[in-house]
């Protein structure tokens, strides 16, 4: 995997059931109670950041290091600016993290511009691994 770093901003939709009396939203399937619950889609604005730097797994043991990276959601809000990060299901959270990583990789600058190791040559190969 190549090195990347950047920010991403995009729209993400979640599906919820809205209680017609209270307006409360739930991710629990309430389709068996159509009188009390309405199925809705909520559009969220997501912002996040991600970076990845591949490790070095060949060469002298002292020159080896593991992959490094992190992806985080910095903001996920609805049109009224309500914070939704704690309201996401685990699956939705994972999907957003994956989308941030993909968008940063697709939209980011050339990762070779960030290689600050003067001695790094991706073509170098040694007969032994770390």
> What would the pLDDT profile of 30-76 be if each residue is shown by its tens digit?
999 989 999 999 999 999 999 999 998 888 888 898 999 999 999 99
Core vs surface per residue 72-102: b (16+ CB within 10 A) or e: ebeebeeeeeeebeebbeeebeeebeebbbe
User: Could you tell me if residue 94 is inside a domain?
Assistant: yes
User: Could you tell me if residue 39 is inside a domain?
Assistant: yes
What's the pTM value of the predicted model, to 2 decimals?
A: 0.76
Q: Which pLDDT value is given to residue 126?
A: 44
User: Could you tell me if residue 50 is inside a domain?
Assistant: yes
User: Could you tell me if residue 36 is inside a domain?
Assistant: yes
Q: Which pLDDT value is given to residue 121?
A: 53
Task: Note the pLDDT tens digit of each residue in 101-124.
Answer: 999 998 755 545 544 444 545 555
User: Could you tell me if residue 126 is inside a domain?
Assistant: no
Find tokens 């914070």 and name the residue.
83
Q: In total, how many domains does the chain have?
A: 1
Domain range for 100 is: 4-114
User: Could you tell me if residue 82 is inside a domain?
Assistant: yes
Distance CA 104, CA 71 (A): 10
Query: CA angle, 119 as apex, 117 and 124 as ends, to 5°?
Result: 120
Task: Note the pLDDT tens digit of each residue in 73-100.
Answer: 999 999 999 999 999 999 999 999 999 9
């Amino acid at each position: 995997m190549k090195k990347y770093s950047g920010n991403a901003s995009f729209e993400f939709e979640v599906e919820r059931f809205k209680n017609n009396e209270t307006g409360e939203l739930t991710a629990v399937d309430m389709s068996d109670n159509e009188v009390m619950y309405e199925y809705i889609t909520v559009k969220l604005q997501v912002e996040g950041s991600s970076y990845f730097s591949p490790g070095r797994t060949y060469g002298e043991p002292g020159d080896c290091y593991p992959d490094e990276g992190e992806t985080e959601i910095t903001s996920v809000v609805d049109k009224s600016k309500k914070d939704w990060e704690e309201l996401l299901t685990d699956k939705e959270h994972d999907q957003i993290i994956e989308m941030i990583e993909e968008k940063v990789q697709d939209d980011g600058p050339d990762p070779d511009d960030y290689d600050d190791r003067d001695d790094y040559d991706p073509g170098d190969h040694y007969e032994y691994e770390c």
